[in-house]
Amino acid sequence: ATPRDCPADVETLGRSSWTLLHSIAATYPKTPTPSEQSDIKSFMRLFAKLYPCWTCAADFQQYIKKEDVRAGSRDEFGNWLCDAHNEVNKKLGKPTFDCSKWEERWRTGWKDGSCD
Ligand code: FAD
């Protein structure tokens, strides 16, 4: 049988969530104020707490405890998030992503005009 499209399964939820998170990184200021830095850190902590896949959430909270959210600049946050995503990729046996390319994937678009 073909899997149902709704409610969202762990994969669909994951893809949509990474899209949201990397897009937030793409629009995060290059030079954030202390309050913007504190907002993104709180957001990530709460996101990890409320993420509606409980085993994913538990591991992600552990990761944030071990690897403090880095949010001193867009580049710093984008790379922190890319590392966090790679940690999940490794756990799931997926290829890791070259983090020097996160901005091309999520902000400026690939130079050849493709999307993935
Ligand atoms: P995704 O991993 O969803 O990635 C989407 C796109 O992002 C890729 O096509 C690629 O273009 C790009 N990308 C890939 N890696 C990176 C990177 N490092 N940096 C920037 N861009 C990148 N699933 C589980 O089964 N178990 C879990 O414990 C689990 N934990 C999760 C924790 C969180 C916080 C989130 C958001 C998701 C989690 N997921 C988990 C879901 C999982 O990560 C995938 O989203 C899901 O398996 C679908 O994978 P995908 O191959 O479509 O690509």
pLDDT tens, position by position, 52-98: 999 999 999 999 999 999 999 999 999 999 999 999 999 999 999 99
Atom 31 (ligand 1) nearest CA:
56
Torsion angles phi and psi, residue 96, rounded to 5: -85, 160
Q: Is residue 21 part of a domain?
A: yes
CA of 31 to the centre of ligand 1 (A): 27
Residue with tokens 């600049």: 73
Predicted ipTM of the assembly:
0.99
Atom 50 (ligand 1) nearest CA:
15
Q: Is 87 in the pocket of ligand 1 (CB under 6 A)?
A: no
Q: How far apart are CA 12 and CA 21, in angstroms?
A: 14
The domain containing residue 95 runs over which residues?
Answer: 10-31+51-106
pTM: 0.96
pLDDT tens, position by position, 73-85: 999 999 999 999 9
Alpha helices in 28-105 (DSSP H): 34-50, 54-66, 74-91, 102-103
CATH of the domain at 96: 1.20.120.310
Q: Is residue 2 part of a domain?
A: no
Q: Is residue 15 part of a domain?
A: yes
Total of domains in the chain: 1
